[in-house]
Amino acid sequence: MKTWILAMAMMMGVAMNAQPGEGRPQRGPEGKHHGMEQRDHFTPEQRTELKVKHLTLALDLTDKQQKDLQALFLNDAKQRQQFMAQHKANKDAGKKPTEDERFAMMTKKLDSQIAMKREIKKILTAEQYQKFEAQKEKRHEKVAKHEKNFKKHNRR
C-alpha cells in the first residue's frame, strides 16, 4: 500500500511539473513562444506600419512625422530582414563567423543604431523624443525582467 501511495505521489509530481504554470512561457509545437509564429508572418511593411501607428498614438505625431518615420523604419526593417536571412543561411550551412567578422557585424549594428537614433531625433520634437526614450527604457526593463524570470524557471 505504501508503495502505491509513493508511486502515485511521484506520478503527480511529474505530471504537475510537465504542465506550464503561471509565469512560464507557453510554447507551441515548434518550441516557439505563442505569438512568435504569428509575428513572423508579417512583412516588413506591415511591421513598420504597426510600429508607426503605435508611436502616433503614444506621441501624437503629425502626418509628416509619420511619413518620415515610416520610411526610416521600413528601411531598417528591410536591412534587418536581409541580415537575418543571411545569418540563417550561414547557420544552416554550419558556418560560424570569425572574431573579426563578429566584430565587424557588431560595429555595423551599432553604427546603424546610432544613425537611427540621430534620424529619429531630427524627426521628433524634444518632448516627443523624451517620451520615445522613456517608452524604450520601459520595454528594456520589461524584457530584462522577463529574461530573469525565464532563467529562474529553467534552472534545475
* DSSP collapsed to 3 states, the chain: CHHHHHHHHHHHHHHHHHCCCCCCCCECCCCCECCHHHHCCCCHHHHHHHHHHHHHHHHCCCHHHHHHHHHHHHHHHHHHHHHHHHHHHHHHHCCCCCHHHHHHHHHHHHHHHHHHHHHHHHHCCHHHHHHHHHHHHHHHHHHHHHHHHHHHHHCC
User: In the predicted model, what is the mean pLDDT of residues 108-118?
Assistant: 94
Of 12-16, 135-139, 148-152, the least confident: 12-16
The dihedral through the CA atoms of 120, 121, 124, 126 has a sign that is: positive
Q: Which long-range contacts (CB under 8 A, 24 or more apart) does 125-130 make?
A: 128/59, 128/60, 128/61, 128/65
So what's the pLDDT on residue 128? Answer: 93
So what's the pLDDT on residue 10? Answer: 74
State the chain's mean pLDDT as an integer.
Answer: 83
C-alpha distance from residue 118 to each of 32, 60, 93, 111, 122 (Å): 34, 20, 36, 11, 6
pLDDT in tens, 86-100: 989 998 988 888 999
Q: How confident is the model at residue 18 (pLDDT cuts 50, 70, 90)?
A: low
d(CA 36, CA 2): 46
pLDDT in tens, 32-78: 555 545 556 888 899 999 999 999 999 999 999 999 999 999 999 99
Of 40-49, 103-112, 118-127, the least confident: 40-49
Of 13-17, 56-60, 78-82, 112-116, the least confident: 13-17
Contact predicate 75/47, CB 8 Å = no
The ranges assigned to domains in the chain are 48-146
